[in-house]
Amino acid sequence: MAGARAAIRYAKAVLNVALNQNAAEVVNNDMKLVVSTVAESKDLSDMLLSPVVPSSVKKSVLLEVFGSSNAITVNLVDLLIQNNRIDIFANVASMYVELYDESQGIKHATVTTAIPLTAALEEKVLAKAVELSGQNVDLENIIDESIIGGFILRVGDVQYNASVANQLNNLKREFTLN
């Protein structure tokens, strides 16, 4: 991730300002919108990264797209434009969301399954994630048919692999070693 250290610094600064102004949750919603919008729009992403597009054009496009955002978010756009760092806007937004969740005691977890989770199964996986992390968990379901069945739960740096593909690979390794 290009500019990761800078993105963390900007995100921490924005979070501090938002916390001081009691607007951290509103800014968090803005940042989630920024992350999803940039991820979904290749044109917007390319424009932010392009050295050919003038900063004034980037600023006007971003203010058009995110103009209804909180003043702190709009000020972040201005600051990044002034410092010629607008290319890391999406990274700053992503880091802000992570830092905000961390400040609220929420861990992000991903569960990879071969099929979408049912409500009952999601509840069980969420309980396992809380058990692994010891904190409140925000769960994201990723569908990957290559795991065949079961699930892979990742909470921070901890991974719990209960997939059929993993079990088959373990059996294969046992048979080839003996």
| Residue 96 sits in the same domain as residue 110 | no
| Residue 84 sits in the same domain as residue 113 | no
Count the neighbouring beta carbons within 10 Å of the beta carbon of residue 55. Answer: 12
| Residue 13 sits in the same domain as residue 96 | yes
Instruction: Print the domain residue range for 10.
Output: 4-102
Please provide the size of the chain in residues. Answer: 178
CB 27 within 8 A of CB 73: yes
| Residue 67 sits in the same domain as residue 146 | no
Question: pLDDT tens across 89-98, in order?
Answer: 999 999 999 9
Q: Identify the domain boundary among 102, 136, 163.
A: 102
| Residue 9 sits in the same domain as residue 87 | yes
| Residue 94 sits in the same domain as residue 137 | no
| Residue 16 sits in the same domain as residue 87 | yes
What pLDDT, on a 0 to 100 scale, did the predictor assign at position 105? 86
What pLDDT, on a 0 to 100 scale, did the predictor assign at position 178? 64
| Residue 70 sits in the same domain as residue 132 | no
What pLDDT, on a 0 to 100 scale, did the predictor assign at position 80? 95
| Residue 113 sits in the same domain as residue 148 | yes
What pLDDT, on a 0 to 100 scale, did the predictor assign at position 107? 86
| Residue 16 sits in the same domain as residue 72 | yes
CA–CA separation, 164 and 149 (whole Å): 5
* Segments of the chain with pLDDT less than 70: 1-2, 178
CB 139 within 8 A of CB 126: yes
Q: What is the largest CA-CA distance in the chain?
A: 66
Name the residue with tokens 């010891």. Answer: 134
| Residue 111 sits in the same domain as residue 83 | no
Structure tokens at 53: 């597009």
Q: Identify the domain boundary among 102, 119, 142.
A: 102
What pLDDT, on a 0 to 100 scale, did the predictor assign at position 41? 93
How many domains does the structure of the chain reveal? 2
| Residue 75 sits in the same domain as residue 46 | yes
